Amino acid sequence: MKLAQRVQDLPPYLFAAISKKIAEKRAAGVDVISFAIGDPDLPTPPHILDSLVGAARDPINQGYPDSDGLPEYRKAVAGWYERRFGLSFDSDKEVLPLIGSKEGIGHVPLCFVDPGDVALVPDPGYPVYPVAVQLAGGTAYPLPLTEEQGFLPDFDAVPADVADKAKLLFLNYPSNPTSAVADIAFFESAVAFAKKHDIVVVHDMAYSEIAYDEYVPPSFLEASGARDVGIEVHSLSKSYNMTGWRIGMAAGNADCINALGRVKSNLDSGIPNAIQRMAITALEGPQESIREATAIYQRRRDTLVEAVRSAGLEVTPPKASLYLWCRLPDGTSSIDFAARLLDDTGVVVTPGVGYGEHGEGYVRLSLTIPDDRLKEGIERLKEWRAG
């Protein structure tokens, strides 16, 4: 069997070495504690689950969904944007339901990137951006995110020929893996850059509701002119502990939304209607569960920050997202570090280089680990020191 070139060209799985080690440790009876996975351990709130159960029993939800979703769900998304950011959208033209934001991110390069075109992606960043660009036949050009620049890309540093060939720019704030945040002034500089070079912007806002210390993340679409140049993708995964239910949304520029809808209508048949009904309940119902979850994550953040510092790493407590992005002692390889930590303590962290070349020198720890396991992991970190 000969695999298509585009599959052969998929990058090697950078975490393969660590995964193999985890499997070996577990087989040898080691009690492995993983800080590697960003998947909320807290339950989906009961009123949201009740809504799913009711909707599942209603035959009206049985048939094929429309690929552009239920009008009621699109309206619920528009209503959420209105309440949360004071932005109003035409729910038929400027909102598109997604099967999780990863699905939208995966498909969006098919709308704007032709073979030979360039797309700008954050480095370190969510690995789906460059791979989706590559699958569309384009080339991903990494924008280095450095600690000195607050993990924001420097648009002035993009070579002119690259900017001219670029069709698409991915941004992600609050950021995975760096947990950095961006303000509206930064988003306005992105809009200016995009207008100058005729680039579509896709902002991934997966973590906008997971924020600490009274910080409230803005939407890219609050930036003036943002709706002229792009869209935002968001999802219920992180906000409502709904990663397994697979539902999200895109909002913004009507032409972009229309193009993405055309691609999707040829590839998928939308989100199960019962899941869309559940998501309406999540967006329109009481929002206390978000405050409760962020209070838990904030407490975990504070205890884990202390533990990683005592283990010899440097970290700025994040204002948002589910991650600690920790700087290793100078010259330490993130893969070697993660392997050594696992060997010595049974604790798993994600090597930063897995998110791109500029992630080297860092490791990521997730806050989505149950409190008893967190406590045990923290004790092991405190007894250990990076050498």
Ligand X SMILES: *Cc1c(COP(=O)(O)O)cnc(C)c1O
Out of 40, 69, 97, 100, name the contact with ligand X by CB under 6 A: 100
Is 334 a residue that touches ligand X (CB under 6 A)? no
Is 101 a residue that touches ligand X (CB under 6 A)? yes
Is 141 a residue that touches ligand X (CB under 6 A)? no
**Cα first-last separation, the chain:** 47
| Least distance from ligand X to the Cβ atom of residue 344, Å | 28
Q: Going residue by residue from 152 to 191, which x/- string records binding to ligand X, judged by CB under 6 A?
A: --------------------x---x---------------
Is 204 a residue that touches ligand X (CB under 6 A)? yes
Cα–Cα distances in angstroms (integers) from residue 117 to residues 32, 47, 139, 263, 363, in the given order: 43, 46, 6, 18, 32
Per DSSP, which regions of the chain are E strands? 33-34, 95-98, 118-123, 139-144, 166-172, 200-204, 230-235, 248-252, 323-327, 347-348, 350-351, 362-366
Q: Going residue by residue from 279 to 308, which x/- string records binding to ligand X, judged by CB under 6 A?
A: ------------------------------
Is 219 a residue that touches ligand X (CB under 6 A)? no
Out of 91, 235, 239, 241, name the contact with ligand X by CB under 6 A: 235
User: Which tokens belong to 25?
Assistant: 């440790």
Is 364 a residue that touches ligand X (CB under 6 A)? no
On whether the CB atoms of residues 97 and 77 are closer than 8 A, the answer is yes
Query: If DSSP codes are grouped into helix, strand and coil, which group holds residue 77?
Result: helix
223 secondary structure, DSSP code: S
Strand pairing partners for 320? 211
Q: Which of 318, 349, 386 is nearest to 151 (CA)?
A: 318
Is 126 a residue that touches ligand X (CB under 6 A)? yes
Q: Which stretch binds ligand X (CB under 6 A): 181-189, 214-222, 232-240, 350-358?
A: 232-240
Out of 237, 294, 345, 368, name the contact with ligand X by CB under 6 A: 237
Cβ-based nearer residue to ligand X, 250 or 313:
250
Q: Which stretch binds ligand X (CB under 6 A): 46-54, 64-72, 95-103, 181-189?
A: 95-103
Cβ-based nearer residue to ligand X, 367 or 381:
367
User: Which tokens belong to 172?
Assistant: 């992600």
Pairing outcome for strands 33-34 and 95-98: unpaired
